[in-house]
Amino acid sequence: MKRIALFVVTNLAVLVVLGIVVNLTGANRFLSAQGINLPTLFIFALIFGMGGSIISLLMSKPIAKWSTGAQVIDMPRNATEVWLVETVRRISHKAGLPTPQVAIYEGEPNAFATGASKNGSLVAVSTGLLQTMSREQAEAVLAHEVAHIANGDMVTLTLIQGVVNTFVVFLSRVVGYLVDSFLRRNDEESSGPGIGYLVTTIVCDILFGVLASIIVAWFSRQREFRADAGAARLLGSPQPMMAALRRLGGMEAGELPQNVATAGIAGRPGWMALFASHPPIEARIAALQQR
């Protein structure tokens, strides 16, 4: 499944791995040894769910660099890199932000912004985008990514992901307890959760996590509209962003690795649109035309 989730896939992986560890080490037993305690379970789920999303947030920038092969520009080596760093610096200053790290990676046209805070963010651009777009169009894409940082999208996404994680963990264990109780309804000798609880919670962590990702993807699509609007404000006109989107609509946007997909620039057709991190380009252009 292509392009489903920087944050969503990383978070889901963290959530599932932590769930397996908790189950295998027996840490879940206090939740159901003497019957499930819903208030205790909810507190556990809140800590566990928010923990998974926070870990994903803290991992976002190093994983993005590693998975794309992005190279941070410490000292510009050519005119393109000089322009890139200066343009990001200028737009960031206009947005009231410190200059983020700027990186380039090899690939088809794409770009993303990530990082755990406004003071520790990264803007990365592909060589394909720099080679196929005009400076004005590329500047609009950079403004879009800076707008993501200015809007605090990664932190907001973390909070939303943490909330849905909480309900994933909570509901998975409730279902696991009910299934385990049903399977052992005639067994009065055993106590604590059994294999039914272990298997059911792991399966539900995955299934509910996928459903939760639809909610997170919907929010991600809304933040793209806001970032487009933010780019229009930073540039003083929606026209450059519209031109950049039209250019992107006429080319095949590069596929980002899954763990940075929600930070990229393209959407998905068909039923996979439910999982798309970005709206259709036509819808984004139409929204800018109404400004």
Q: Among 145, 188, 224, 282, which one carries the catalytic annotation?
A: 145
Q: Name which of 126, 123, 129 is nearest 87 in CA terms.
A: 123
Q: Which residues contact 82 (CB under 8 A, 6 or more apart)?
A: 76
Strands 71-72 and 111-115 come out as: unpaired
Using one digit for the tens of pLDDT, what is the confidence trace for 226-275?
A: 999 999 999 999 999 999 998 887 755 555 555 555 556 555 555 667 77
* CA pair distance 42, 28, nearest whole angstrom: 13
Q: Has 145 been annotated as catalytic?
A: yes
- The stretches in the chain having pLDDT less than 70 are 1-38, 186-193, 251-272
Q: Can you give the pLDDT at residue 143? A: 96
Neighbour-count burial of 145, counting CB atoms closer than 10 A to its CB (0-12 exposed, 13-18 middle, 19+ buried): buried
pLDDT digits (tens, 9 = 90+) for 163-194: 888 888 888 888 888 888 787 776 655 555 67
How many Å apart are CA 177 and CA 196, to the nearest integer?
A: 8
